């Protein structure tokens, strides 16, 4: 069969015509691991092609027998549009990834098949059933304790387009997370479990990878003993990599020094909030905000730069959260920021809570991209939250701040970390300018400067 795998992209960044230029934001694109794994699971007698709409034009008229689309919530409307177009032309459409896994009933209104959970346990069966004409509407699979059926992803699809990604070499050591943070989709998807890959398989993949790559894990130190064994084995390989982890990396001197010696030069950490009350309400009290300064310093002093994930709009946040967060980010020397406006993703406990309390003001999934305010916050208006988040982003990524930060990182963490921080900063700056969002600090602005409708519109679903 002719199988077409698609990663949709949102309106602002999609390639809308053949040969249209690709926006210069490689730093915000990583290899499309879910679909390259789906491709690798496909038996050789099928013909597979893969399109990432962020870097290539998708021709909706092209022939296909089966169309598989991977999508998160913000991209669901585009995924539904694509599926319906291919469906009208007789292709069998299959939905996979976070949004369909957490919202299978909704996805099934637009797709022939919803493959929840992991492709390793469903994809080959789906293809056999399509060929036999006996396919079902729902398939589901979650991993056993050990993730051992994961094939080596088919990265050859990126031969032409590889330059548009920070790396086409994303490697996983495990999936999922044991924590129960209320806002998190990972914990909802993997049902509070963490699954590791056999260490020798990971090492083999790392050996075959170029010098610079990325561990795509949500928490590379989820099992510290496993991580230490991995890092020890990696020292002689002389690779350089970045990843994500919890702030607990700072608490184990041996782990921290092994991570650096194994080639780690940057980590993304879910700092989330500088308010202890917020962390506790989200069941992420283990972060312990009082120790942030100390722990971030320890990580940085080991030559590892820190990118922070922060959320604004939590229940204890008032209009001062934006300038306080900016101050914190500056003082800790954090190299890059991924800011999220609190977004209760459908399928998480937080979504249910907000829905029950009538605090969701928009059910337009395209706005669930962490950049739009879709909730009614407790201690400010939705407009203040939106404007403050835009302001914080624009301030953090002011050109003088990007340069000063990168210089400090060059002196402390080293040149590679500084280069990453600089490129990421410039990419974010470019996005902010293109989107034209500069915001106003609501703690300092007179109310009328932030446009406000007469009353917030509470949406229903
Ligand atoms: C890389 C990544 C990206 C990349 C590209 C996405 C991609 N698919 O490659 C980029 C940088 C573009 C990106 C952007 C964003 N991302 Co993102 N991203 C990730 C990340 C870190 C890794 C994805 C990955 O490679 N996973 C490893 C692979 C193996 O797992 P997988 O993709 O789930 O695939 C498996 C199954 O889901 C299934 N499967 C997947 N697709 C398909 C398709 C078919 C046909 C089948 C059968 C099966 C199948 O099989 C695969 C193998 O088992 C995930 C976190 C995570 N752990 O997955 C977040 C994640 C997917 N992102 C998320 C979010 C929110 C965003 C952003 C909004 C965040 C932001 N502020 O930038 C934006 C989206 C912008 C928008 N318009 O909405 C959320 C999604 C939440 C949700 N409920 O939808 C996640 C879960 C992170 C999180 N902590 O919450 N992201």
Q: Which atom of ligand 1 lies closest to the CA of 32? A: 9
Are residues 130 and 179 located together in one domain of the fold?
no
Are residues 175 and 130 located together in one domain of the fold?
no
Are residues 74 and 197 located together in one domain of the fold?
no
E strand or H helix at 408:
helix 399-412
Q: Which two tokens stand for residue 229?
A: 């064994």
Q: Is the pLDDT of residue 104 over 50?
A: yes
Q: With cut-offs at 50, 70 and 90, classify the pLDDT of residue 178.
A: confident
Q: With cut-offs at 50, 70 and 90, classify the pLDDT of residue 78.
A: very high
pLDDT at position 238 is 96
Report the CATH number at residue 92.
3.40.50.280
pLDDT at position 437 is 85
Whether residue 109 lies inside any domain: the answer is yes
Are residues 118 and 218 located together in one domain of the fold?
no
Whether residue 68 lies inside any domain: the answer is yes
Are residues 182 and 283 located together in one domain of the fold?
yes
Are residues 93 and 177 located together in one domain of the fold?
no
Are residues 113 and 174 located together in one domain of the fold?
no
Q: What is the pTM of this model?
A: 0.94
pLDDT in tens, 242-256: 999 999 999 999 999
Whether residue 182 lies inside any domain: the answer is yes
CA of 155 to the centre of ligand 1 (A): 17
Q: Which two tokens stand for residue 219?
A: 């928490």
Are residues 392 and 285 located together in one domain of the fold?
yes
Pocket of ligand 1 (CB under 6 A): 7, 10, 28-30, 32-35, 37-38, 68, 70, 72-75, 94, 96-99, 102, 115, 118-120, 122-123, 170, 172, 184-186, 216, 218, 338, 340, 345, 369-370
Q: Is the pLDDT of residue 455 over 50?
A: no
Bridge-based pairing state of the strands 194-196 and 174-176? antiparallel
How many angstroms separate the CA atoms of 443 and 323, rounded? 8
pLDDT at position 449 is 59
Report the CATH number at residue 304.
3.80.30.20
Whether residue 210 lies inside any domain: the answer is yes
pLDDT at position 149 is 77
How many domains in the chain? 2
Q: Determine the structural domain holding residue 25 and report its residue range.
A: 2-141
pLDDT in tens, 182-194: 889 998 999 888 9
pLDDT in tens, 343-358: 999 999 999 999 999 9
Whether residue 324 lies inside any domain: the answer is yes
Are residues 121 and 174 located together in one domain of the fold?
no
Are residues 198 and 105 located together in one domain of the fold?
no
pLDDT in tens, 57-74: 999 999 999 999 999 999
pLDDT in tens, 179-230: 888 889 998 999 888 999 999 999 999 999 999 999 999 999 999 999 999 9
CA of 185 to the centre of ligand 1 (A): 10
Q: 53 with 15: CB under 8 angstroms? A: yes
Whether residue 449 lies inside any domain: the answer is no
Are residues 68 and 134 located together in one domain of the fold?
yes
CA of 62 to the centre of ligand 1 (A): 25
pLDDT at position 27 is 81
Q: Is the pLDDT of residue 145 over 80?
A: no
Whether residue 240 lies inside any domain: the answer is yes
Whether residue 321 lies inside any domain: the answer is yes
Q: Is the pLDDT of residue 454 over 60?
A: no
Q: Is the pLDDT of residue 176 over 60?
A: yes
Q: Which atom of ligand 1 lies closest to the CA of 120? A: 53
- How much of the chain exceeds pLDDT 90, in percent? 81
Are residues 251 and 349 located together in one domain of the fold?
yes
Residues 6+ apart with CB under 8 A from 226: 173, 174, 196, 199
- How much of the chain exceeds pLDDT 70, in percent? 96
């Amino acid at each position: 069969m002719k199988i077409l795998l698609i990663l949709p992209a949102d309106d602002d960044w999609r390639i809308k015509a053949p040969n249209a230029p690709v926006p210069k934001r490689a730093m915000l694109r990583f290899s499309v691991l879910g679909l390259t794994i789906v491709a690798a699971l496909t038996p050789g007698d099928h013909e597979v092609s893969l399109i990432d709409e962020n870097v290539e034009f998708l021709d909706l008229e092209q022939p296909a027998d089966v169309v598989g689309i991977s999508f998160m919530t913000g991209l669901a409307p585009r995924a539904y549009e694509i599926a319906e177009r291919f469906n009208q032309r007789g292709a069998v459409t299959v939905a996979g990834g976070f949004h369909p896994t957490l919202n299978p009933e909704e996805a099934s209104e637009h797709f022939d098949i919803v493959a929840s959970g992991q492709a390793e346990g469903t994809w080959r069966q789906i293809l056999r059933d399509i060929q036999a004409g006996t396919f079902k509407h729902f398939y589901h699979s979650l991993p056993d304790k050990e993730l051992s059926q994961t094939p080596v992803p088919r990265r050859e699809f990126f031969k032409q387009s590889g330059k548009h990604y920070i790396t086409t070499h994303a490697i996983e050591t495990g999936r999922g997370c044991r924590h129960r943070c209320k806002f998190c989709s990972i914990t909802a998807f993997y049902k509070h479990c963490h699954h590791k890959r056999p260490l020798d398989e990971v090492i083999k993949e790392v050996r075959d990878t170029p010098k610079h790559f990325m561990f795509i894990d949500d928490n590379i130190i989820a099992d510290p003993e496993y991580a230490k064994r991995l890092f020890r084995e990696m020292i002689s390989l002389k690779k350089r990599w970045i990843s994500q982890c919890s702030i607990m990396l700072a608490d184990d001197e041996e782990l921290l020094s092994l991570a650096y010696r194994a080639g780690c030069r940057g980590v993304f950490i879910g700092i989330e909030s500088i308010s202890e009350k917020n962390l506790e309400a989200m069941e992420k009290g283990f972060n312990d905000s009082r120790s942030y300064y100390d722990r971030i310093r320890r990580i940085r002093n080991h030559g590892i730069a820190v990118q922070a994930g922060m959320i604004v709009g939590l229940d204890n946040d008032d209009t001062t959260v934006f300038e306080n967060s900016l101050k914190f980010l500056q003082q800790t020397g954090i190299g890059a920021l991924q800011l999220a406006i609190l977004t209760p993703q459908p399928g998480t406990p937080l979504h249910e809570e907000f829905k029950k309390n009538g605090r969701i003001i928009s059910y337009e999934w395209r706005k669930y991209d962490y950049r739009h305010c879709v909730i009614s916050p407790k201690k400010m208006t939705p407009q203040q939250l939106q404007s403050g988040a835009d302001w914080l982003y624009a301030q953090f990524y002011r050109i003088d701040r990007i340069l000063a930060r990168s210089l400090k990182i060059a002196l402390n963490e080293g040149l590679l970390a500084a280069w990453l921080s600089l490129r990421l900063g410039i990419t974010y700056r470019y996005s902010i300018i293109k989107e034209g969002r500069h915001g106003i600090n609501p703690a300092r602005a007179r109310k009328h400067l932030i446009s406000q409708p007469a009353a917030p519109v509470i949406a229903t679903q």
